[in-house]
Amino acid sequence: MKLIKKIYKFFDKKVIVPITKFFVNMGNKIKTIGQPLEIVSKSKKGIIIISLILAVALCYYIQGRSNSLLETNAKVLYDQPVVANYNEEEYVVEGIPETVDITMIGNKANIYLANQLPTQTVVVDLSDLGVGSYDVDLKYKQAITSVQYKLDPSTVRVTISPKKSRTMSVTEEVMNLTDLDSELSVKSVQLYKLKTGNEETGTKEEAEDRITINEVIVKGKEETINKVASVKALVDVNKLTDPQVGENLLRGTNEVPIVAFDSDGKRLDVELVPSTVRAVVNIESPSKEVPIVIVPKGIENIVFGKSIEKINQSAETVTLYGKQEALDKINNIEVEIDVNNLNNNKKYTETLKKPKNIRKLSITTVNVDVSLGDESSKEISGVRLSSRNLGGDYVVQVSNDSVNEIPVILKGTESVISEIKSSDIEAYVDLKGYEEGTHEVKVKVVGSDNRVIYEPKISTVKVVIIKK
């Protein structure tokens, strides 16, 4: 009975009286709102009843919140890292998951508190185990003892094998070359580390401080390291800061990772010492300027009585950028224009084709103006006959009833063909695929001026092919 009185006094003093005073004051302020509300506000009993109803509602609300906090709930911590304790120099362990999920079970208040605390590490202790296969438990230190922690998985099957090692050469593989400025190319890459004592951050790096890295140590399970076919340093040109001609360094956070691959190019999970290296990337900008040669196609089909008198082009030369070995093989860039059935002067805009292994051209298009004139013809004698594409085991000679020189008919405008001499023309027979014996072969003629039609006056010759 005394307890009930105490509770009543508490609610009377702390809840009912303050609420009653609040409504009395409100009643004095809202008398103008209406008669019903004014009656309630002037009635002490009415105000007490309303206050009591609000107090009971407040108690129910607080009770509901308390029950909610005490209810059992669960929360999952995903992808928590796993740490294994074992002798890493002596053993290789397989079967340990990189991460596990942890389910926390408890009331909301405790789960909330546990979630605010730093996450502990999931540990698997293999320090007392030797070579073999074992079922081991994953352990997690509980942050709050009133919360239950369940790991998924909680037990794993591990295999412990002796660690072997093997020394292998390492080569560089340059990645993302297409992202490099098209005028630049990678000339060479040097992999290195710094001499001991010269690795302090901020210390100026000198060339004499570098030790070239040509080999790495591959460590792991014997079966796995025997599968290693190549070890490569992956040099990513995108990690170069403002690449320039000359030495460019990859170091610090941009060091080059080293990766092992099997014979199929699949990456293998082995330990590599070192696992990263520094690199000097030597960049060059090889270039070559070559002439642009306009080649009219269908020149023999120009309207009767007309021939090309002038070919004017907006650019005579183009600069190529690429590997030096590719540049050395290119002497010009040919641009074809279609003059079939041409009957009047015409303008062309043609795209230059980029040769293989050339990254950039200084210009990509050329404008060509073709002008026509009246056609004339001219015969030139004394053009020596040669051969092409004969196999290395043979030599060729012209038969007794043939000739060593070919007369050639030129067709073009008078101003063009008048300047052409026999030395500007080549007559030849293509002997590709021919073997020992006597053969009648078609004569072909080419000249230095693409505006002219060249026709051999003798269309075929007999040649004798003999072995050396």
| pLDDT digits 0-9 by tens, 366-411 | 999 999 999 999 999 989 999 999 988 898 876 555 678 899 999 9
Q: Are residues 107 and 13 in the same domain?
A: no
Exposure class string for 287-319: b at 16+ Cβ within 10 A, else e: ebeeebebebeebeebeeeebbbebebeeeebe
Residue 3 Cα distances to 7, 59, 163, angstroms: 6, 18, 75
Q: Are residues 368 and 298 in the same domain?
A: yes
Last residue of a domain, one of 237, 269, 284: 284
Range of the domain at 58: 2-70
Does position 239 have pLDDT exceeding 60, yes or no?
yes
The kind and range of the H/E element at 344 are none
Q: In what order do the strands lie in the sheet with 437-442?
A: 394-398, 460-467, 437-442
pLDDT value at residue 6:
54
Q: Are residues 169 and 280 in the same domain?
A: yes
Q: Are residues 336 and 349 in the same domain?
A: yes
- The whole-angstrom separation of Cα 274 and Cα 283 is 25
Going by pLDDT thresholds of 50, 70 and 90, the confidence category of residue 259 is very high
The answer to whether the pTM exceeds 0.85 is no
Assess if residue 99 is contained within a domain: yes
For residues 409 and 57, the model is more confident at 409
Q: Are residues 254 and 325 in the same domain?
A: no
Does position 431 have pLDDT exceeding 50, yes or no?
yes
Last residue of a domain, one of 70, 100, 127: 70
Last residue of a domain, one of 373, 391, 417: 373
Q: Are residues 308 and 341 in the same domain?
A: yes
The kind and range of the H/E element at 1 are none
- Over range 226-236, report the average pLDDT: 96
Instruction: Read off the pLDDT of residues 146-193 as tens digits, 9 standing for 90 and up.
Output: 888 899 999 999 999 999 999 999 999 999 988 998 889 899 999 999
- Over range 447-466, report the average pLDDT: 92
Instruction: Read off the pLDDT of residues 261-293 as tens digits, 9 standing for 90 and up.
Output: 999 999 999 999 999 999 999 999 999 999 999
Q: Answer yes or no: are the C-beta atoms of 108 and 71 closer than 8 Å.
A: yes
For residue 110, give the amino acid letter. Answer: N
pLDDT value at residue 3:
47
pLDDT value at residue 211:
92
pLDDT value at residue 201:
47
Q: Answer yes or no: are the C-beta atoms of 376 and 414 closer than 8 Å.
A: yes
Q: Are residues 177 and 262 in the same domain?
A: yes
Place of tokens 């002796």: 162
- Domain count for the chain: 5
Going by pLDDT thresholds of 50, 70 and 90, the confidence category of residue 442 is very high
Going by pLDDT thresholds of 50, 70 and 90, the confidence category of residue 53 is low
Assess if residue 241 is contained within a domain: yes
Give the pair of three-digit tokens for residue 272. Answer: 């590599």
Q: Are residues 245 and 349 in the same domain?
A: no
pLDDT value at residue 357:
87
Q: Are residues 224 and 201 in the same domain?
A: yes
Assess if residue 434 is contained within a domain: yes
Q: Within a 10 A sphere around the Cβ of 220, how many other Cβ atoms?
A: 22
Residue among 421, 409, 380, 415 nearest 309 (CA): 415
pLDDT value at residue 74:
85
